[in-house]
Amino acid sequence: MRFSIYQDTLIGARASNQDRMGYCYTRDSLLMLVADGMGGHMRGEVAAHLALQVAASTFQEQARPTLADPPAFLDHALRRAHREILRYQDTHGLPESPRTTIVACVVQHGRAWWAHAGDSRLYLLRGGRVVLRTRDHSKVQNLIDLGMIDERDSATHPERNKVLNCIGSPFEPTIELGGDVALQAGDTLMLCSDGVWSALPEDELVESLSAESVMSAVPRLVQQAVGHAGPIADNATALAMTWEAEADGAGWSSDDVPDGAITTTIAVGLIDETAPGDAMTEDEIERTIREIREAISRAGGS
């Protein structure tokens, strides 16, 4: 596989950053994830963190070096994350469970599959236009589908933040699956939280991702999203990957990954139990991003 990939996040105008992002890849399979912890419930950042950890550890268990059944993997990994969040609630005696939206994507053998719960989105861009995007599990999207409001009015609708599906809720989540799509050289897949897509017109998003590499487009989009939203800016997180031809291109080649090895930006381990639920500070978020970028640079990325 040969691809270019980049991720970035900003806190926006919120007190803490409850978004989490990351990716893992073997020689022949790539997993990308964005989770948006739900601030209306306690410890949203814990739910997002756990979701990424569980999905990444499941990928490490099953990608040897490919996944036997990518859609089945996605459904299993996200439901496993849901159960782990409920276990965390029980272990810590919480009155309610932490919750998060999530979007995940697997790329393997030049094809893409994805899954989501909530309003974190996946976009597929090809030839300067959006070929497809995931459908939000939200009250506003339902109203649009029913013809009760126009999509242009969704950004200002009083119930625009009402999400109808997530992982970590008391109810079994709906894991909506998508794909199998053959990727073409130059295709870009972007996963993002609602802090990005809700703040930017779609044509601006497409223009940035089509006109420049993901290494420069992703941080630009995240900064623009926060700038456009101003004093009501949400956490803004995006992870984008551009697929390239095997024989050429300036992206990374997974051929350098040894047999049985996995490259990842997701730390799989225990959450610090000394201060369960404490949100990461902005300095901690920035330090984590910096450490990830330095690790990527040492591995041969930008």
Residue 292's pLDDT is 45
pLDDT digits (tens, 9 = 90+) for 158-210: 566 688 999 999 999 999 999 899 999 999 999 999 999 999 999 999 999 99
Q: Which residues, in sequence order, are CB contacts of 183 under 8 Å at separation 6+?
A: 107, 110, 111, 112, 189, 243
| pTM, 2 dp | 0.86
User: Confidence class of residue 299 from pLDDT cuts 50, 70 and 90?
Assistant: very low
- In this structure, of 7-11, 48-52, 66-70, 264-268, the range with the lowest mean pLDDT score is 264-268
- B/e letters for 139-170, b = 16+ CB within 10 Å, e = fewer, are bbbbbbeeeeeeeeebeebeebbebbbbbbbe
What span, in angstroms and rounded, lies between the C-alpha atoms of 125 and 206?
Answer: 7
CA distance 148 to 150: 7
Q: Once rounded to an integer, what is the mean pLDDT over residues 75-81?
A: 98
Distance, CA of 166 to CA of 97 (rounded, Å): 11
Question: What's the confidence (pLDDT) of residue 192?
Answer: 98
Whether the pLDDT of residue 284 is over 60: the answer is: no
Q: What is the CA radius of gyration of the chain?
A: 18
Residue 94 pLDDT level (bands cut at 50, 70, 90): very high
> Are 21 and 7 in contact, with CB atoms under 8 Å apart?
yes
Share of the chain above pLDDT 70, in %: 79
pLDDT, tens digit, for every residue of 42-59?
799 999 999 999 999 999
C-alpha closest to that of 198 among 239, 241, 153: 153
Task: Return the closest-CA partner of residue 133 out of 116, 145, 150.
Answer: 116
> Beta-carbon neighbour count of residue 206 at 10 Å?
18
Of the two residues 223 and 262, the one the predictor is more confident about is 223
**C-alpha of 54 from chain center:** 14
| 31: DSSP letter | E
Average model confidence (pLDDT) across the chain: 86
Lowest mean pLDDT of 135-139, 212-216, 257-261, 274-278, name the range. Answer: 274-278
Tell me the domain boundaries of the chain. 2-298
Span of 69-78, 145-154, 173-182 with lowest mean pLDDT: 145-154
Per-range mean pLDDT, top range of 147-151, 155-159, 223-227, 241-245: 223-227
Mean pLDDT computed over 98-126: 97
Cα–Cα distance measured from residue 214 to residue 233, given in angstroms and rounded to the nearest whole number: 22
- Higher-confidence residue: 285 or 184? 184
Residue bearing tokens 């649009």 = 144
Residue 258 pLDDT: 84
In the predicted structure, residue 290 carries a pLDDT above the cut 90: no
Supply 149's token pair: 């409001």
Q: Say how far apart CA 292 and CA 237 lie, in whole Å.
A: 15
CB 17 within 8 A of CB 230: no
Q: In what side-by-side order are the strands of the sheet with 236-243?
A: 129-133, 121-126, 188-192, 236-243, 2-10, 252-253
CA dihedral over 163, 84, 265, 11, signed as positive or negative:
positive
Residue 295: predicted pLDDT: 46
The fold for domain 2-298 equals Phosphatase 2c; domain 1 (3.60.40)
